[in-house]
Amino acid sequence: MKSISRRAALGLAAAMLMAGSAGAAQAAAVVQVSLWDKGASAEMPTGLAYATPGLDLAKATMGIKVSPGAVKAGEVTFDVTNDSKDTVHEMIVMYLADPGKPLPYVEAENRVDEDKAGDKGEVSELDPGKSGTLTVELKAGKYLLICNVPGHFGAGMWAEFTVDP
């Protein structure tokens, strides 16, 4: 009798492990996003927007760090933290229909035209030190995570992001 209940317990444990593995495979990918800058007193450069010819991001005084930089297609959760000490930032997910091509830009507003660019969701204006979360369903392709506070995108506040099939 002991061996039967032991076998049953082992079988149950194996079934639970397999079920847990299947659930983990379907869980949302979690991406850590840090919105950073060198402080409000740092001069904000221009000409550092995505796909700008002769781009030198070493001049950027603000940016976006993403980890990991690629995930599998499906549900993706972005945990976003504004690591600035004195500047409001946001994070917007943009699908790149044509990677390498500039996003539509409204010069008069000094920001990306979100409607034309393919906005997939955002964590809106985060005060310094604050965090937010965004969960979206993403298909395979290339994406750009941007801050669209006026001037920030052009100052280099963007990061490429890949969604694999």
Q: Indicate the pTM of the whole model.
A: 0.82
Q: How many angstroms separate the CA atoms of 102 and 125, rounded? A: 23
33 located within any domain: yes
Q: Could you give the number of structural domains in the chain?
A: 1
Query: What confidence tens digit (pLDDT) does each residue in 62-74 have?
Result: 999 999 999 999 9
Task: Provide the strand spans (E) within 68-130.
Answer: 70-72, 74-82, 89-95, 105-106, 111-112, 119-126
39 located within any domain: yes
Any idea what the CATH number is for the domain that residue 58 is in? Answer: 2.60.40.420
Query: What confidence tens digit (pLDDT) does each residue in 92-140 have?
Result: 999 999 998 999 999 999 999 998 998 999 999 999 999 999 999 999 9
155 located within any domain: yes
6 located within any domain: no
75 located within any domain: yes
At residue 27, the pLDDT reads: 67
Q: Which two tokens stand for residue 98?
A: 């044509």
77 located within any domain: yes
132 located within any domain: yes
Query: Is residue 37 very low, low, confident or very high in pLDDT (cuts 50, 70, 90)?
Result: very high
> Cβ neighbours of residue 22 under 8 Å, at least 6 residues apart?
none
Q: How many angstroms separate the CA atoms of 107 and 91, rounded? A: 20
Structure-token match 């659930």, residue found: 23
21 located within any domain: no
132: containing domain: 28-164
